[in-house]
């Protein structure tokens, strides 16, 4: 027997607990503690206190939407960086280095050595790329700097209020001077293009997309010169359709045929068609006739917009249209 009482000469009433009862009580308490400990160790409940690392990790997993346009703050930032490094524009000539070469010299080297890696035998790369593309001769095919493509993208994307899930069609995307920026910004498969020139298509598919790491975006780029768009999908609806200088080189009749087919593929009211440089295909009809023809197609002329870029000494004129019929 265990005796739990205060000992006193007067022998006050005590409390007696038998050994078996005591053992059972201790065992029960131990079992309860074990069960509580086990349940807490396997609990998937969030901790009431998060460490800074946990917060940073959760934020880094969220893909932020890419900003479209360059701001004056961006320009000031890079100007400050140039000034702080004491940089001044020097004469553009070959510098001393490992192997400074002009484009023509690079091309001669590629032909002689069968590729960048100086293969001893035949070039065995998975996607052979002609030397003319590797030295980027196609970047000089536009009559203006290649970098201007970024400006065109910024203007069109901003003017059309594009989002990554928007859909875009370019008529005559060439070697993707502009298209690359749309492809990078948009969700996979959301950029479409109709281009007739084989050399431009080869440059786009065998050099530009791979070199920019954009093959996974799966743009739909098709060859054609007939303004036939059914091959892009009968139910496809675009937020933006644009043609940069392409309509200048087409017969007016073909341009109107193309517009008639495009109207049904443009989202009503919010979708936009942009044409660069001029709209002589329309103005040659005369003001009233042009307006009537556009109305018959369900198109509304939104006016001329100028894009005077903050970058690259670039300036362009664009003409906008929207669909006003369901």
Yes or no: say if 189 and 164 are a contact pair by the CB < 8 Å rule: no
Taking CA atoms, 194 is separated from 139, 155, 234, 259, in Å, by 19, 21, 15, 14
Which structural domain range is residue 244 located in? 145-323
In a domain? residue 192: yes
Range with the poorest average pLDDT among 106-110, 210-214, 230-234, 296-300 = 106-110
In a domain? residue 58: no
For residue 203, the domain's CATH number is 3.40.50.150
Q: What is the pLDDT of residue 274?
A: 95
Q: What are phi and psi of 169, to 5 degrees?
A: -125, 125
In a domain? residue 60: no
Mean pLDDT of 222-251: 90
In a domain? residue 96: no
Residue 284 has pLDDT above 60, yes or no: yes
Q: Which residue has the higher pLDDT, 127 or 9?
A: 127
Residue 7 has pLDDT above 60, yes or no: no
| Distance in angstroms (rounded) separating the CA atoms of residues 79 and 138 | 30
Residue 46 has pLDDT above 70, yes or no: no
Q: What is the pLDDT of residue 278?
A: 82
List all residues 6 or more positions away from 106 whose beta carbon is below 8 Å from its beta carbon. 131, 134, 135
Mean pLDDT of 315-326: 87
Q: What is the pLDDT of residue 97?
A: 65
Which of 86-95, 112-121, 282-291: highest mean pLDDT?
282-291
In a domain? residue 12: no
Q: Which residue has the higher pLDDT, 205 or 246?
A: 205
300-311 pLDDT, tens digit each: 999 998 877 777
191-195 and 168-171: which strand pairing?
parallel
In a domain? residue 203: yes
Q: Which residue has the higher pLDDT, 114 or 32?
A: 114
Yes or no: say if 304 and 318 are a contact pair by the CB < 8 Å rule: yes
pTM for the model stands at 0.73
Q: Which residue has the higher pLDDT, 255 or 325?
A: 255
Tokens in use for 273?
A: 């068609």
Taking CA atoms, 210 is separated from 58, 203, 205, in Å, by 31, 10, 7
Number of domains in the chain: 1
In a domain? residue 314: yes
Banded model confidence at residue 127, pLDDT cuts 50, 70, 90:
confident
Tokens in use for 116?
A: 């960048």
Q: Is the dihedral of CA 255, 138, 239, 225 positive or negative?
A: positive
In a domain? residue 275: yes
Banded model confidence at residue 249, pLDDT cuts 50, 70, 90:
confident
193-229 pLDDT, tens digit each: 999 999 899 999 988 999 999 999 999 999 998 888 9
Q: What is the pLDDT of residue 192?
A: 97
């Amino acid at each position: 027997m265990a005796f739990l009482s205060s000992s006193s000469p007067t022998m006050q009433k005590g409390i007696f607990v038998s050994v078996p009862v005591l053992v059972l009580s201790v065992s029960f308490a131990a079992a309860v503690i074990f069960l509580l400990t086990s349940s807490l160790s396997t609990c998937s409940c969030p901790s009431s206190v998060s460490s800074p690392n946990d917060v940073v990790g959760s934020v880094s997993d969220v893909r932020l939407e890419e900003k479209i346009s360059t701001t004056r703050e961006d320009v000031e930032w890079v100007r400050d960086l140039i000034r702080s490094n004491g940089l001044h524009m020097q004469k553009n000539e070959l510098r001393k280095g490992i192997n400074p070469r002009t484009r023509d010299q690079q091309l001669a080297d590629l032909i002689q050595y069968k590729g960048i890696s100086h293969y001893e035998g035949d070039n065995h790369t998975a996607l052979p790329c002609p030397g003319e593309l590797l030295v980027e001769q196609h970047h000089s095919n536009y009559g203006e700097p290649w970098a201007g493509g970024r400006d065109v993208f910024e203007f069109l994307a901003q003017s059309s209020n594009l989002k990554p899930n928007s859909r875009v069609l370019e008529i005559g995307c060439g070697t993707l001077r502009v298209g690359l920026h749309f492809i990078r910004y948009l969700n996979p498969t959301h950029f479409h293009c109709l281009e007739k020139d084989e050399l431009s298509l080869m440059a786009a598919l065998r050099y530009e997309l791979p070199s920019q790491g954009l093959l996974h975006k799966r743009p739909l780029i098709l060859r054609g010169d007939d303004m036939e768009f059914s091959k892009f999908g009968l139910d496809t609806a675009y937020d933006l359709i644009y043609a940069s200088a392409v309509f200048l080189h087409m017969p007016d009749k073909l341009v109107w045929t193309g517009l008639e087919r495009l109207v049904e593929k443009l989202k009503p009211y919010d979708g936009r068609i942009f044409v660069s440089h001029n709209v002589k295909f329309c103005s040659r009809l005369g003001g009233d006739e042009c307006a009537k023809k556009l109305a018959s197609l369900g198109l509304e002329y939104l006016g001329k917009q100028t894009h005077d870029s903050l970058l690259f000494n670039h300036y362009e004129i664009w003409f906008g249209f929207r669909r006003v019929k369901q």
